[in-house]
Amino acid sequence: MKSYFTFIVLIIFIKNYSLSQTPTTPLNGVSASDLKLNTITTALPFLSITPDSRAGAMGEAGTALSGNSTSIYWNTSMLSFAEKKAEIGVSYVPWMRQLTNDISLSYLSGYYKVNDRHSIGGSLRYFSLGEITFTDNNGAVIRNDKPSEYEITGAYAFKLSDKFSFGVNGKFAYSNLTGGLVVGGVNTKAAVAGASDLSFTYYNKDAKIGGTEGVYVFATTINNVGNKISYSENAKRDFLPMNLKIATSYKANFDKYNSLLYCLELQKLLVPSPPVYATGSANIASGKNNDIGVISGMLQSFYDAPGVVEVDANGAQVQNADGSYAVYKGTRLKEELSEINVATGMEYWYNNVFALRTGFFYENKNKGNRRYVNFGAGFKYNNLGIDMSYLVSVSGKNSPLANTLRFTLRYTFGDNSSKSSL
């Protein structure tokens, strides 16, 4: 099926993924419990699409899961604690099938443990937007194109001790959304980015809760730290989806046949929040300028939420005596906290052969409104593993993410030192 969009609609769709919903509550006389829609958008959002079915079935909480080939996306430092010598995996995700049937993400990844301390890996991510028909303002067809994006990643993990590991990724991303189309006399171009991921893991395989033995993991990552990009020479450059993740998990081994894993993850974009501007002016009423450098933007993202500017009975913004604008008390902090996403999931394994999974992902309605429940299952036979997940949106009937399916096939090499789910 062909998707017919104008150039402008295409760019808006790619950069925002149509995940936001406008709140209907009036903001005249708001309290600290009410916030305005202020979604943070980035370039190359395909870098943040979960590629694998295991984490995809567990609320997309994959940072503290056991090491496998998709750890290169989630947390490379976990490769140091992978029990297999090597693994290769391939995943396929039909994307936004509520809107069209020709958008998809493909992901190929693998790792190899050189020795007890050093592990290496790599991955290739390919995102296809299907076939797009570019039209002019009058609806006349300019040409058909097949926009696409891809990312190549190299990974390295170093085991600091029996319980600590550090990981680093280097990646190259390429995004060609326009095919060099000239729009309004402006030449467009493909965007190119270089980025890196840093990860750290604490891994305790001898943890106990009560009398139940298990494995405890604490992990943190910073992803997609790289240059800002644009699709034309003179356009404002946008941040990559730089992300901080803090996660923990505990796997309880009840006996040699049954185990249950629980994971919890907090995620935050390290990208500045858009400020609130004075009515009819380019002056900032609240918040901070978000057109800044990468490192400055990462730091600023922790304290720049604008909150809600006070308005009078006529809806006009209220100014203080010194010329600054009044902001409702508590809304800055509340908005800053609303930028933290929560992902949580559970995984049950029987005899290290069959797995059932479920999870939940929450994002504030004013920051994107992605809220969904995930389900999935996995099957393992010898060195072959198959996983599948399904997403049920709870943020609204028209969510473009509803009914998302993910499929993953993995093959491992080398013997386990002990039984454990992948």
pLDDT score for 181? 76
Dump pLDDT digits (tens) for 314-339. Answer: 889 999 999 899 999 999 999 999 99
Please give the full DSSP string across 76-108, using - where no structure is assigned: GGGGGG-SSSEEEEEEEEE--TTT-SS-EEEEE
218 within domain boundaries: yes
Count of domains in the chain? 1
- Cβ 201 vs Cβ 75: under 8 Å: yes
298 within domain boundaries: yes
Q: How far is CA 55 from CA 75, 199, 210, 407, 412, in A?
A: 12, 17, 27, 11, 18
Phi first, then psi: give them for residue 238, nearest 5 degrees. -110, 155
From CA 216, how far away is CA 233, in angstroms rounded?
49
Q: How far is CA 390 from CA 108, 134, 231, 284, 356, in A?
A: 20, 32, 34, 43, 12
pLDDT score for 415? 66
From CA 410, how far away is CA 110, in angstroms rounded?
9
Beta-bridge partner residues of 332? none
421 within domain boundaries: no
Please provide the average confidence, as pLDDT, over all residues in the chain.
Answer: 88
**pTM for the whole structure:** 0.87
- Cβ 349 vs Cβ 51: under 8 Å: no
From CA 39, how far away is CA 45, in angstroms rounded?
13
155 within domain boundaries: yes
Spell out where 37-82 has E strands.
none
215 within domain boundaries: yes
Beta-bridge partner residues of 62? none
pLDDT score for 16? 39
231 within domain boundaries: yes
Dump pLDDT digits (tens) for 83-128. Answer: 999 999 999 999 988 888 889 999 999 999 999 999 999 999 999 9
Per the structure, the complete domain to which residue 324 belongs is given by 3-413
Assign residue 352 a region (left: φ > 0; alpha: ψ between -120 and 50; beta: otherwise).
Answer: left
294 within domain boundaries: yes
Assign residue 396 a region (left: φ > 0; alpha: ψ between -120 and 50; beta: otherwise).
Answer: left
CATH of the domain at 162: 2.40.160.40
420 within domain boundaries: no
Assign residue 235 a region (left: φ > 0; alpha: ψ between -120 and 50; beta: otherwise).
Answer: beta
* Other beta carbons within 10 Å of 211: 5
Residues in the chain: 422
Q: Averaged over 39-47, what is the pLDDT?
A: 94
